[in-house]
Amino acid sequence: MTFTNEHTELEIFAEENPPKRVNRPEACGLRHLAFCVESVEQTVKELAEVGIECEPIRVDDYTDKKMTFFHDPDGLALELHE
Q: Is the pLDDT of residue 2 over 50?
A: no
pTM over 0.75: no
Half-sphere exposure of 46 (CA within 13 A, CB side): 8
What's the whole-number mean pLDDT along residues 24-52?
A: 84
The widest CA-to-CA distance across the chain, in whole angstroms, is: 38
The confidence band for 73, taking pLDDT boundaries of 50, 70 and 90, is confident
The confidence band for 43, taking pLDDT boundaries of 50, 70 and 90, is very high
Between CA 67 and CA 63 the distance in angstroms is 10
Q: Is the pLDDT of residue 78 over 60?
A: yes
